[in-house]
Structure 1
Amino acid sequence: MLTHAAKVDAHPAVKEGAPEYFSMGDKLRALAAELGQWRDAAATGSRDAKA
């Protein structure tokens, strides 16, 4: 997802403006960070985190 975020930021068509439903690089990076936190929490063995 981080690779995709970098490519989105670098793409010339996106620099001109993108539709509001299009996820820009900053949103994709935030989602990747959140997924990483959930992955780490689930690795601790917590039943709530795994759910």
Structure 2
Amino acid sequence: MLKIIDELREKLHNKAKDKPLTDPDVLKASQELDRALDEFYKLLQQKKEKD
């Protein structure tokens, strides 16, 4: 999961350095990263509740 997040973060960074932050491609990459981070934190919370 961390590898996926890192790849999405790099993808977002690469798009944002060439395009404005309001560009649809940048926004899409940002949303993909947000979803991955939400899922990661959800998994962490579930693990914490089990422990």
Q: TM-score, normalised by structure 1?
A: 0.52
Q: TM-score, normalised by structure 2?
A: 0.52
**Residue segments in structure 2 that go unaligned for 5+ positions in a row:** 16-23
Q: Identity percentage over the alignment?
A: 16
Find runs of 4+ consecutive structure 1 residues off by over 4 angstroms: none
Larger relative contact order (CA 8 Å, sep ≥ 6): 2
1:5-46 residue CA offsets vs partner (Å, 9 max, x unmatched): 23113227xx473xx8xx711100010001000001011xxx
Which has the larger helix fraction? Answer: 2
Aligned-pair CA distance for 1:4? 1.2
Whichever of the two has the greater Rg, that structure is: 1
